[in-house]
A and B are shown apart, each in its own frame.
Chain A
Amino acid sequence: MKIRIEHDRCRGAGQCALNAPELFDQSDDDGTVIVLDEEPSPELQDSARLAAALCPNAVIRIIESCEA
């Protein structure tokens, strides 16, 4: 699995950092998303999917077909 970000669309709502803190943080400068781990290990992949589903601005794209 790979995580891809469309950073321009991020409005810093923080759903990602709330629901998958191991994978996402928010920048101190403007509150927008920072990806901590672009290739999440298997046990974190559900959190990655959850964060993508809850992001209000469709910022987080999950590419499933990559080898983790």
Chain B
Amino acid sequence: MRATEPALSTLPTHRSCPFDPPQEYDRLREQAPVSRLAFPDGKIGWLLTRHQDVRAVLADDRFSSDRSRASSPLGRIPLRPHEPEARAGMLLTMDPPEHTRYRRMLTRYFTVRRMRALVPRIEQIVEAHLDAMERKGPPADLVTAFALPIPSLVICELLGVPYEDRAMFQRWTSTLLRLDTNEKAALAARNALRTYMLQLVAAKRAHPDDALISHLIAAQDTAEETQAELTDEELGGIARLLLVAGHETTANMLALGTYTLLSHPDQLRAMLDHPESVERAVEELLRYLTIVQFGVLRVACEDVEIAGCQIRAGETVVASLAAANRDPEHFDRPGKLDLEREFSQHVAFGHGVHQCLGQQLARVEMEVAFPALFRRFPTLRLAVPPEQVPLREDMLIYGVHALPLTWDGHSPDTLHQQTPSTGG
């Protein structure tokens, strides 16, 4: 039966609720969990919607992450990923053992312990942005005032990228992540980012600081056995990947997560009343919202059978993280936001060797930012009707383009009743 399921023309993209993935995924998961998918380049591949199949493929080394061999389900130009200078350092699109070499160099900088050690600094950054919002008074766009600047500043400090340059790299990033960007604009943005990073790497060689890029340069001087030196192109590629992946993703979780929490006031209150429940709440938001909305791509290196279907060598497989995270076989009442849900093996950070390198950083940023925001502004609410919140259906990473919020500011007669709100 499954094999005769008619090919889909496109990946499901139409959402009927801002917090739910397209409903089409539910139908597919039930009727054709391993389903044929027609790509805009004319090729036919596969779409996986079940939690178990998505995890199986992402943990299977017979599937490659090399995007230059994959078809894109959204008709996005592949950006000539085979050009050496575009590939250098891009571990996201590499397979072991090439991938392993980079990943091993980087993981020590992103361990649970190291990321926890950043908490005091992240708290300062969050408080400073809350102070600025409070000084300006309501209304505010949460994306520009809070959600985007906080992870941008954190990743800049971690890498040693000057925060003053944010307008430039935020613009390039957004060009690269927009679905309708044409090839010319995308290449221009990528080249601008590449040139920028190469200059930065050269500057760090001349004047090292105490941040990650300089550490990677220094680590090579003491490089052990197999780890051949990193070229400037490789260092630039790693830094580019970390900068792009490190700010847009968390930024969208913060803004969309805030919108979600505001829409579930009872659960929000329960979370704020029990600080120890925040970690669990963050995991649930990651699962429920799955902002890597179109899933991740893999290419079969050989013929592989998945759930009774023959996937041929060379075919592209789209593993839908969003559909997997709503699989009723794995999650009890998957469509319900339940901030107290037990640890759930969600795949919002992927699975297998590429599982998100920055996940512990994203977690601590969210664990600090959400409670601090709602404690500072207990009356926080949307400043526009919900249908006017612009959704990022047109971006690789889902979220909101803007989140206009308001709150009860300090009018002169209420001021004295409030304890100084900077204390939290």
Q: Which residues of A contact B (CB under 8 A)?
A: 11-14, 17-19, 21, 25-32, 50, 53-54, 56-58
- Asked if residues A28 and B112 are in contact (CB atoms below 8 Å), the reply is no
The complex places the Cα of A19 from the Cα of B105 at a distance, in Å, of 23
Interface of B is mostly: helix
Assess whether B108 is in contact with A57, with CB atoms less than 8 Å apart.
no
Known: A11-B103, A56-B350, A58-B59. A17 touches B343 (CB 8 A): no
The reply to whether the CB of B392 lies closer than 8 angstroms to some CB of chain A is: no
Expressed in whole angstroms, the minimum distance between the Cβ of A56 and any Cβ of chain B is 4
Q: Chain A's nearest CB lies how many Å from the CB of B319? A: 13
| In contact, B111 and A57 (Cβ under 8 angstroms) | no
Known contacts being A30-B104, A56-B351, A56-B355, is A17 close to B111, with CB within 8 Å?
yes
**A25 with B113: CB separation less than 8 A:** yes
CA distance A17 to B356 in the complex (A): 15
4 new A-B contacts, CB < 8 A, other than A56-B353, A57-B353, are A13-B356, A13-B359, A30-B107, A31-B110
Contact A18 B59 (CB under 8 A): no
Q: Are A14 and B111 in contact (CB under 8 A)?
A: yes
Q: Does B231 contact A (CB under 8 A)?
A: no
A14 and B362 CA atoms in complex are apart in Å by: 13
Report whether A11 and B353 are in contact in the complex, using a CB–CB cutoff of 8 Å: yes
C-alpha gap A19/B279 in the complex (Å): 11
| Contacting residues, chain B, for A17 (C-beta < 8 A) | 111-113
B345 touches A13 (CB 8 A): no
Contact assessment for B108 and A11 in the assembled complex, using a CB-CB cutoff below 8 Å: no
Residue B360 is within 8 A (CB to CB) of chain A in the complex: yes
Task: Report yes or no: B343 in contact with A54, Cβ–Cβ below 8 A.
Answer: yes
CB contacts (< 8 Å) of A14 on chain B: these are: 107, 110-112, 359-360
Binary interface encoding of chain B residues 340-377 relative to chain A, with 1 for a CB under 8 A from any of its CBs, else 0: 00010100011111011101100100000000000000
User: Would you give 6 A-B contacts (Cβ < 8 Å), ordered by A?
Assistant: A14-B360, A17-B112, A18-B363, A31-B104, A56-B351, A56-B352
A36 CB, min distance to chain B CBs, angstroms: 13
Q: Name the residue on A nearest B109 (C-beta).
A: A31
A31-B350 in contact (CB<8A): no
- Across the interface, do B107 and A32 meet the contact criterion of CB distance under 8 Å? yes
CB distance from B172 to the nearest CB of A (A): 28
Asked if B59 contacts A12 (CB within 8 A), the reply is no
Query: B108: which A residues are within 8 A, CB to CB?
Result: 12, 26-31
Within 8 A of A (CB), among B55-80: 58-59
Residues of B within 8 A of A57 (CB): 59, 352-353, 355
> Given the complex, which residues of A lie within 8 Å of B351, measured CB to CB?
56
The residue in B109, B111, B350, B352 that gathers the most chain A C-beta atoms within 10 A of its C-beta is B111
What's the minimum C-beta distance from B373 to chain A, rounded to whole angstroms? 23
In whole angstroms, what is the CA distance A28 to B343 when docked?
Answer: 26
B365 to chain A, nearest CB (A): 14
Complex partner residue of A13 from B105, B113, B355, CB under 8 angstroms: B355
Min CB–CB distance B359 → chain A (angstroms): 7
Q: Which residue of A lies closest to B103 (CB)?
A: A11
| Chain B residues within an 8 Å CB radius of A31 | 104, 106-111
Residue of A nearest to B58 (CB): A56
CA distance A50 to B344 in the complex (A): 10
Which residues on B sit within 8 Å (CB–CB) of A13?
107, 349, 355-357, 359
A35 and B14 CA atoms in complex are apart in Å by 46
- In angstroms, how far is the closest chain A Cβ from the Cβ of B117? 12
* Interface 0/1 of B241-255, CB less than 8 Å to A: 000000000000000
Please name the residue on chain A nearest to B356 by beta carbon.
A13
CB A27 to nearest CB in B, in angstroms, measures: 7
Can you list, as one digit per residue, whether each of B105-139 has a CB less than 8 Å from chain A (1) or not (0)? 11111111100000000000000000000000000
Taking a contact as CB atoms under 8 Å apart, the answer to whether B112 and A56 are in contact is no
Q: Which residues of A contact B103 (CB under 8 A)?
A: 11-12
A53 in contact with B110 given A11-B355, A12-B103 (CB within 8 Å)? no
Residues of A within 8 A of B59 (CB): 56-58
Q: Who on chain B is nearest to A28 by CB?
A: B108
* A26 in contact with B353 (CB, 8 Å): no
CB closest residue in chain A, given B350: A56
A29 to B104, CA, bound (A): 9
Contact, CB under 8 Å: B112 / A11:
no
- CA–CA, A27 and B103, complex, Å: 14
Q: Measured between C-beta atoms, what is the minimum distance from A62 to chain B in Å?
A: 15
Q: How far is the CB of A23 from chain B (nearest CB, A)?
A: 13
Which residues of the partner chain A approach B104 to less than 8 Å between Cβ atoms? Answer: 12, 30-32
The docked-state distance in angstroms from the alpha carbon of A57 to that of B349 is: 13
